[in-house]
Amino acid sequence: MTATPPAFSLRDMAGGARAFPTGRPTLIAFVKEDCHTCNLAAPVLEAFHQAWGDVADIWMVGQTSDGNAILKDRHGLTLPILDDSALRASLAWGFEIVPAVYWSGQDGVLRSPLEGFVRAEWEALAQTVATDLQARPAAIAWADLPDWRPGCGSKHLDPEIHDRLLAEAEGSAIRARRIEIASADDIAEFMFDQGFSDGLPVVPPTPERVLRMLSGTTRDPQDIVAIVPPNLAPATVEKIAINAVMAGCKPEYLPVVIAAVEAVCTDEFNAHGVNATTMGASPVLVVNGPIRERIGMNMRLAALGNGNRANATIGRALRLVIRNLGGARPGGVDRSTLSNPMKFTMCFAEWEEGSPWEPLHVERGFKREDSVVTAFAMTSGPVQIVDQDSRQPDQIAGTLGLGLEGMFLPKIRRMPTDALLVVCPEHIQTLTVDGPYSKQRLRERIQAVTARPLREMVASEVSGAGISRSSAAKMSEAQLDTPVGKFADGKFIHIVVAGADAGKFSAAFHGWVTGPMGSTVVSRKIDC
């Protein structure tokens, strides 16, 4: 509570307006009817009113309309009882316990605040008021009152009420346009009808929920995080928080969502192209660093599937931002021929502790202690790569390569396209059975086992895809016999570790076009 408490205007039980400051010395007591200590204090406040009501304003401010009437009848009160059932004055004054009593002079400056009931403090208050008013003492049998009684928690601090009050208060962080719906409307159906959903139910982003979500970051709610293609709409922290609420995120997930939005809204990632392509590309997020454990992300059993709230809702929140702010909706900018389920969500954490290699974010230039999200533009996946028989490192590496050979189509080679390879723990054990097996060695092995003569890439009666016959006719026999690997460069193969201890099943995500004409992998540090 500040030295000069906030002004307010409330109605008394007769419907009259009462405004503070009043221009006179004023004693204000905030109470609620179901508080035993407030009931103990009510006759004392009435005695104050009887003694000094002609020279000062002695007001009781009740936190429930019905409770005010009960207090009046129960104790035969004649002092003015004001209705703060909206609890806005209580919030503005910032106390925690009722009764909360404030004495201020004619200037409205606070003199002696107190909460609860300590008889010695109330006696001292009565003496202060009488002295300030140069008036007779109030007629109170202090000896008949208990030495001490604890107060009760103020109603405005009830969890279901407090966030709503903060959201509605003047100076609230909430600035987004609010939509009012009829009381008979079904909120979930309304959200579907307005096109805010990805096809699954969303959590209504009430002001109090959004305010709770914003508590997950120290950033200003009106900071512009990114401009979201294709609509080129500004994504403020608040608007990202709104979509995070709809996705089902917890507040502690918000920094990850913010960093993901920053990553995909770069020119390098090319979110417009990713969302407009008929191939059905979508962001896949990999999270590294300490935040994985802090927010409970899954990197082990079922890491790429359902069942983990952080994984599922972080990826979904990003997709909702792209949809609701960027405008990338199926049938509009999103022209995917088939699309893919990753357009609902795809986010997981790397199991760094089970990896023999540097984590993805360290490999990409960050410190191990940094928390980082990396965004890939992927068109399909996760596609499982099954090998329960290989026992030698190069064998399992060969299997991983063959598993990637079908990306797009086996006949398509020298692909300037990213692939995200997720190696499971049992395959890691086989890779390292004879000692270290570097990522570079794995990439080289993948390129080697997928190398095929160019002549196998020529269009044929089996498949018209690949090198056209007219182009092949211009090549020498030596050129046609030249083996080429699957990827234009091993650097396009990104490797992480995830999954349960049991099961020899790795997985691959197949990428979209890489480079200036497509999408480049982007990483962003996660800051609170």
Tell me the CATH number at 64.
3.40.30.10
State the pTM of this model: 0.77
Do 274 and 381 belong together in one domain? yes
- Per-residue model confidence (pLDDT) at position 39: 97
What phi and psi values does residue 63 have, to the nearest 5 degrees?
-95, 0
Evaluate if residue 173 carries a pLDDT over 70: no
Confirm whether 356 is domain-assigned: yes
Confidence of residue 2 (pLDDT cuts 50, 70, 90): very low
Evaluate if residue 345 carries a pLDDT over 80: yes
The DSSP H or E segment spanning 322 is: helix 309-324
Q: How far is CA 496 from CA 174, 282, 331, 348, 423, in A?
A: 39, 19, 34, 11, 6
Do 409 and 520 belong together in one domain? yes
Confirm whether 123 is domain-assigned: yes
Do 293 and 433 belong together in one domain? yes
- Per-residue model confidence (pLDDT) at position 169: 65
- Per-residue model confidence (pLDDT) at position 184: 81
Confirm whether 396 is domain-assigned: yes
The residues, ordered by sequence, that sit 6+ positions from 58 with a Cβ below 8 Å of its Cβ are 26, 27, 45, 48, 49, 52, 79, 80
Do 147 and 286 belong together in one domain? no
Confidence of residue 172 (pLDDT cuts 50, 70, 90): low
Do 153 and 193 belong together in one domain? no
- Per-residue model confidence (pLDDT) at position 166: 75
Confirm whether 471 is domain-assigned: no
Do 147 and 201 belong together in one domain? no
Do 61 and 116 belong together in one domain? yes
Confirm whether 168 is domain-assigned: no
How far apart are the C-alpha atoms of 1 and 82, rounded to whole Å? Answer: 20
Say if residue 453 is preceded by a cis peptide, omega within 30 of 0. Answer: no
Name which of 126-130, 143-147, 172-176 the model is least confident about.
Answer: 172-176
Evaluate if residue 90 carries a pLDDT over 80: yes
How far apart are the C-alpha atoms of 172 and 167, rounded to whole Å? Answer: 5
Confirm whether 503 is domain-assigned: yes
**What DSSP assignment string belongs to 80-112?**
-EEE-TT-HHHHHHT--EESEEEEE-TT--B--
Do 296 and 422 belong together in one domain? yes
Which residues constitute the domain of residue 148? 8-157
What's the count of helices (H) and strands (E) in the chain, helices before strands?
18, 22
> 256 is written with which tokens?
């990850």
- Per-residue model confidence (pLDDT) at position 4: 72
- Per-residue model confidence (pLDDT) at position 6: 87
How far apart are the C-alpha atoms of 4 and 528, rounded to whole Å? Answer: 34
pLDDT tens digits, 10-60: 999 999 999 999 889 999 999 999 999 999 999 999 999 999 999 999 999
Q: Report the SS3 class of residue 271.
A: helix
Confirm whether 430 is domain-assigned: yes
Confirm whether 490 is domain-assigned: yes
- Picking from 140, 157, 174, the residue at the C-terminal end of a domain is 157
How far apart are the C-alpha atoms of 520 and 514, rounded to whole Å? Answer: 6
Percent over 70 (pLDDT), the chain = 97
- Picking from 116, 135, 157, the residue at the C-terminal end of a domain is 157
Do 151 and 191 belong together in one domain? no
Confidence of residue 111 (pLDDT cuts 50, 70, 90): confident
Q: Report the SS3 class of residue 114.
A: strand
Mean residue pLDDT of the chain comes to: 93
The arithmetic mean of pLDDT across residues 455-480, rounded, is 92
Q: How many domains does the chain have?
A: 2
Percent over 90 (pLDDT), the chain = 85
Site of tokens 């200037």: 107
Do 127 and 193 belong together in one domain? no
Confidence of residue 3 (pLDDT cuts 50, 70, 90): low
Evaluate if residue 80 carries a pLDDT over 80: yes
pLDDT tens digits, 302-317: 999 999 999 999 999 9
- Picking from 101, 136, 157, the residue at the C-terminal end of a domain is 157
Higher pLDDT, 22 or 160: 22
- Per-residue model confidence (pLDDT) at position 17: 95
Do 149 and 264 belong together in one domain? no
Do 283 and 351 belong together in one domain? yes
Evaluate if residue 528 carries a pLDDT over 80: no
pLDDT tens digits, 383-401: 999 999 999 999 999 999 9
How far apart are the C-alpha atoms of 405 and 456, rounded to whole Å? Answer: 13
Evaluate if residue 1 carries a pLDDT over 50: no
